Amino acid sequence: MILEKSKIIRLQDLSQAGYVEDDKADFVKDFIRINHIYRSAMQEASTRLDILDSEFATIYNHSPIHHMECRVKTLDSILEKMKRKNLELRIDNVYKLQDIAGIRVICNYVEDIYYLRKLLISSNGFELIRESDYIKRPKPNGYRSLHLIVSVPFVISEGRMELPVEIQLRTIAMDMWASLEHELRYKSGRVFTEAEAAELLQCSKDLAAVDEKMQALFQGPGVGRTSS
């Protein structure tokens, strides 16, 4: 199942939202084009992941992907990130951000994440640009996921293009922690006390232990990924 969080952007939507004004006008028009091409790269990558998932399920009788969520970064979020990175408001600077198109792949088990990684980067045309393994080395706050930036080739009416897509792979347990931590931090604009931060870190460790136990249960004594 692929859930797409962002929708197709039209100039009239951005005009209504008050974006198409003075200094931002040219940038906003170019952004619509950019949104389309990144969406194409994202769809290409999510389709490839979906195919790999089905193939895996056919051979091993186990589907590694629980579900996927896709999004192209919103204009607000791009503007905020460019400001944070001190990038001038020019469209060529948008290409310096490598997470304009993003896919979150929620897997059943930790091992599924590394199987998918291997399948994805050995599949034709997809090149790994950058990797951050926050599963082997979780962030100090407890955040765990495998982040890949992959260069994705695709074809549109003007011809062949290649753009980076950020792929975040995580288990259901890792996703639970990240979603709730994000909800607590952003929605309520909360700054965690030391005790709360320690509690969140402990939750992450507990969930990592659950992931390990579920993986062991899945494999069971003598129950592996046998071909059906």
Catalytic residue set: 166
The least distance separating ligand 0O2 from the CB of residue 171, rounded to whole angstroms, comes to: 14
Size of the site for ligand 0O2 (CB under 6 A): 11
Q: What is the rounded (10 degree) CA torsion for 33, 36, 37, 39?
A: 150
Q: Which stretch binds ligand 0O2 (CB under 6 A): 49-57, 136-144, 196-204, 212-220?
A: 136-144
The least distance separating ligand 0O2 from the CB of residue 220, rounded to whole angstroms, comes to: 32
> By CB under 6 A, what part of segment 164-183 binds ligand 0O2?
178, 181-182
Using CB under 6 A, which of 7, 67, 139, 190 touches ligand 0O2? 139
Q: The dihedral of CA 123, 129, 135, 136: what is its sign?
A: positive
107 strand-pairing partners: 65, 171
Is residue 99 a contact point for ligand 0O2 (CB under 6 A)? yes
> By CB under 6 A, what part of segment 113-132 binds ligand 0O2?
132
The pairing of beta strand 146-156 with beta strand 159-171: antiparallel
The least distance separating ligand 0O2 from the CB of residue 77, rounded to whole angstroms, comes to: 6
Nearest Cα to 102, choosing from 126, 131, 73, 145?
Answer: 73
Look-up of token digits 């310096």? 96
Q: Which stretch binds ligand 0O2 (CB under 6 A): 35-43, 50-58, 121-129, 140-148?
A: 140-148
Residue 92, Cβ neighbours under 10 Å: how many? 9
Cβ atoms of 67 and 4 closer than 8 Å: no
The least distance separating ligand 0O2 from the CB of residue 120, rounded to whole angstroms, comes to: 18
Cβ atoms of 164 and 98 closer than 8 Å: yes
Look-up of token digits 């074809």? 155
In three-state secondary structure terms, 30 is: helix
Using CB under 6 A, which of 34, 143, 165, 167 touches ligand 0O2? 143
The site for ligand 0O2 (CB under 6 A) is made up of 77, 99, 102, 132, 139, 141, 143, 147, 178, 181-182
